[in-house]
Structure formats: C-alpha cells, structure tokens
Structure 1
C-alpha cells in the first residue's frame, strides 16, 4: 500500500461522495454521480499501477509508472473540466520520433531519443486543463507561486535530455553525466509593481556560472543586468509574466521538501509546465520499455551507454515520488490559495 502524504490525500479522490463534495466546493456547481465515479475510478486504477510498479522489476517498472501517471492525468482533466471519460482522447498525445536511428548507432546516446506533441490526446488535454501552469515553491514547503507558461505548439520536439537536464532534483547526477544542466538557482525573487528583482546564484553543482550562461536562458524575456557580486547576479524585470524568464522549482527533502525557484531554459522556443514535463518523461521512459525492450535491458544491465543510467534511474524514482504530488496540487489549487 502506498503511504506517501500525496497518496494519503489522493485517497479522498477515491471516494465518489468526497469527489462530489470537493467539486462543488471548488466550482460551486454539482458533479453527477457517474462523473464522480469516473474520476475516482481513474485515481484508484492509477494507484494500482503505482503499487504494482513499487514491487516490479526495473525491466518493466517505467511502463507501469507511465500508465499510473496517465490515469492520474486523466482523472485531473475530468475533475477540472467536469467532463466524462467517454469524451477523453484515446491517444497519448505524444509520439516517438527518432528512436530507431538513435539506437542504430554504434554508441547510442539515450539522451537524444525524442517525443513530439500532437494536436490532441491525453498530453494535450492535461496541458490545457492545467493551463500549462507550474505551481512552485519558493522558500516554502507548499506552492506559493504560480507560473503559467505559454501554450505548447503542436509538433514541439522533446528530447529525453531536454527534461533530464531541467529537473533540478536530478542535477547532481546529470552533471556527472553531461556537464552543466539547463537551469540555474534563484537565490531571491522580489516582486513589487512595476518591477521584479531576481538574484541568481553563480554556484551550480561545483561549477561557477557567468552572465553568458545565464542570459542564454532569456530567449523570451529581457531582464536588465544590475550587478555581479557575492556569487550572485542581479537582474531587474517587469512583473508581467511575459517579461519574466520561465521558472520551475527545486524541492529538497533534506530541508523538509522546502523548495526554491530555478531559472529555466526553454524547450527550443516552447515551454512546458513541470507537471507536463514529468508526464512527458514518464511517457518516454514507458515507451522505451514497451517498444525497445532489448535496448532498455541492455542499458539497465550496463551493456550500452551506461553513463546515463544513474540519472535515468533517479528520474524513475522522481516520477514515482513527485508526479502524484504535482497532480494533487492541481486538484487542490484552490485550497493553497493559487
């Protein structure tokens, strides 16, 4: 039985009566018994997938986790939009791309396998229902900062490395594999109309980062440099979200899951919310197990390209632990004041 705090709270969404009460409390309208039953059934099935994954061999675990994530994503879409499961798309909303050519290489680089977004499907429904929004923690153990990313264009390519390099919780392992990741830590952020001040740490997993590294992240915004001192670089921006660089957060269990913001490099001109990126990560790893089992088994047996294995194994643990929490926060966004 799953006993994490997230699953303990998600258990309330396995009760048809409690789903109807929460829906009414949040949206001030009723949800039919059949609609509530479909939400709680999807949550219950997702929990079963996660429970099975907890004891499964690593040769199949990512696939079970993906279907658990998909169940949670579908339940959230039904709850937020008040729609029935019969109206949901039957497709994943993502498709694999260059995998055959990557694995045909003598030394395949698993970080280069790619998925791309489709017009419809479960991924697009999840992104749209959550408004592509990251609910972030900054010097807090609960989300206290909502960042809404722009819509995700159809056909957006997402490399496995694109996600692994941006998840701060994987940063220490990723740096050993590929060098500097595609995020940098925000020491402090102060927003007071009409400006936002951002102080960025120059220390990142043993590296010292400079303005050139940081300002490469400002592809959709133009914060103004203020000063560079005490291992911090200070920028000033307007408070409009369109003028701010994209943000995710880093939640650190060593500090009671208190989180800090990170500045993020976009996905080649597109942006994904953190929940959407983790769902895409689960999809890529799940489909790798499903459609290229020999390559996956060679990887986990340290036979090919195993430099990335520690990062990927940590990514699997991250999906298992954090995707339920990220979904729960969107279920209960009204209760945390965002």
Structure 2
C-alpha cells in the first residue's frame, strides 16, 4: 500500500471523522453516520489492498469495488443528507453496446450510458470539480465543470485520451496519435475563453482538441512557439491532469479532445468510469477478459489496461484524499 493510505486511515476512526466534519463544515456529525463513513473507507482500503496480489482475472473487479467504496465514502461526507440506506444501490453506468463490441473486438468503441447511481451521485456530491497541479507538486487550481445529464453517453476511446500520463499506451493501442497539449494559463475574458497552451499551431492536433463544430468563434494565434486559443465561453475545454510533467513530481493540466454529447467529467469520475469498464468486462464477460490478458485476441489494449490499473491503484485514493484536503480552501476562496 502507498503512503496515501496512512492518511486515508484517519477516515476509519469515527472520532477523527467527526472532528474533520466539524472543522471542514462547522457541523456536528452523528456517530451512526460517522461509522458508515468509516466502513466505506475500510472497505475501499481492503479492496485496493486485495487487488495488489490478486490474479489478473479478478484484479480489475477488486479495484473497481475499491473505487465504489471510496466514492460512497466521499458521497457520505460531501452530502449531509446521504446515508447508507438512501444512496442509490447501483453503479450509475452501463455499457450500451456490448453485443457489437463482442463481435468487433474493438474495446475502444464501448459506449457508456449514465444512469442514476453511485457514479452520478459522486459527480453531484463533488460538484463535478477537479483539483489540479499547474507546474507544481501541490494543488493550486480548481475547475467546476457543468453537470452531465442522466442518459448521456460517451465512448471508452474518448475517455482513454483523458489520461495524459498514459499517452504512449493509448497510442500503441488505438494506433493513432493522441491529441493533447499542456495548458499554461486559462481564463474567461468577457464572452470568451482564452487559453495559453504549449506548442506550435499544429492544425491536425488542435482541430481534434478544439473541433470548430463545437468551439464557436475559434481563433488560434501562434506566438513564440506557443499558442493562444480563444473561443466562446459557453463551450468548455476538456481539462485533464498530467501527474508527471516537466519533472516526475511536477504536474500540469492538459487539454484533450472533448467527450461526445457535451459531457464533462472531473478527474474522479474519469477514473471511476474507466475502472467500471475493466471491472464489468472481467466480471460479466470473463472469456473476453481472458482472451485479452492471455494474448489470445484483441490484446493491443492490454498494455493500456495494465498501466491504467497501476495508475488507478495510486491515483484514485490520492485524488480522494486530496479532494477532501482541498475542499475547505476551495469553499473559502469562492
């Protein structure tokens, strides 16, 4: 287990959780709910711990259960009215087109549909907010994205683009260049977004990140081998965190192509959705999962899946903790 769990273990103590709640929200938490939070975090730790030594046939499922447990713990903390008995007992996602995927073998074409459940409750409770590192090893920026609607759909291939640290694995899998650029600065100026992004004006790359049919009044200005990108403020860029950027411990936000259906997801939701896909395939379609991880068929995706599971093992618990640690600073600054 990594050091993050030394801090997350604090949420397994009802007394510490009650003090945390008082400090963060100036609210007295009752013991029964504190214990519910404890149990969610304990389950999350045990699932993640079990996944470390688990066979690949079940590893993604154990990780996904850990993601769900930590997500439910977050919902219980962030939503004062949430209790174990009123959180919707479903995943909040479903694969819409599995029969097509089974025939084609193109895992990247999986379509996810949002339904009522833990995924949607996590987005609501977290206000669909991401906390970012900008040229820093510490969080120093945050963005609250618009909420997706129930029944919205998005694609696995699009989702995979949202992990800049795994860019090489995605390119090897999908066999095409991943369009992404490091974000240097961003702000809304009047009726437009103004982004300063690193790198020259490559029309092919930038047309994927900022498709003109979506980004209205788009203007790209190249200066000193960087670009300034302007567009209507009603369209949001797809910001994602790259954890290891200039240096191993220094992160930067990146901009990547938008998800279909005008959907925006924070970092927790992106990891949740990807883990759901892996967990669902390994649980409900074990022959497909076996063919992939044994190199029998459609195994081009395997390096990405393995690297994502390593990434998830560290980053989802870390993001959970840092969301809670950053929450008070965000509330005080807004």
TM-score, length basis structure 1: 0.89
- The answer to whether residue 110 in structure 2 is matched with residue 113 in structure 1 is yes
Could you give the per-residue CA deviations for residues 168-212 of structure 1, whole angstroms, max 9, x where no partner exists?
Answer: 1111111222212253222x21548658642223379xx995543
Query: CA–CA distance in 2 between the matches of 1:295 and 1:14?
Result: 37
- Residues 1:260 and 2:252 are matched in the alignment: yes
Shift of 1:235: 2.3
Deviation (angstroms), 1:256: 4.2
User: Deviation string for 1:38-74 (max 9, x for gaps)?
Assistant: 1011100110000100000111100000000000000
What does 1:145-156 correspond to in 2, within 5 Å? 145-156=141-152
Please state if 1:25 is matched with 2:15. no
- In the alignment, the residues of structure 1 paired with residue 316 and residue 255 of structure 2 have an alpha-carbon distance, to the nearest angstrom, of 21
Q: Where does residue 95 of structure 2 map in the other structure?
A: 96
Q: Find 1:71's aligned residue among 63, 69, 83.
A: 69
Please, which moves more after superposition, 155-164 or 7-16? 155-164
Secondary structure, in 3 states, of the residue corresponding to 1:155? coil
Query: Cα RMSD between the aligned structures?
Result: 2.4
Which residue matches 1:200?
197
Pairing 1:322–2:315 present:
yes
- Secondary structure at the aligned position of 2:73 is classed as helix
**Alignment: residue pair count:** 327
Quick one: distance in 2 between partners of 1:335 and 1:45?
25
CA distance in 2, matches of 1:127, 1:280: 11
Q: Contact 2:241–2:253 (CA<8 Å) still a contact in 1?
A: yes
**Stretch deviating more after TM superposition (265-274 or 28-37):** 265-274
In structure 1, how many angstroms separate the alpha carbons of the residues matched to 2:51 and 2:316? Answer: 14
Counterpart check, 1:306 vs 2:296 = no
Which ranges of structure 1 fall in alignment gaps of 5 or more residues? none
Seen in structure 2, the aligned counterparts of structure 1 residues 221 and 320 have a Cα distance that, compared at 3 Å, is farther
Aligned counterpart for 1:288 among listed residues 272, 276, 281: 281
Contact 1:202 1:210 in 2 (8 A): no
CA shift for structure 1 position 88:
0.8
Shift of 1:224: 3.4
Structure 2 residue corresponding to 1:124, chosen from 120, 125, 129:
120
Instruction: Give TM-score, length-normalised by structure 2.
Output: 0.90
Looking at structure 2, the residues matched to 81 and 27 of structure 1 have their Cα atoms a distance apart, in angstroms, of: 11
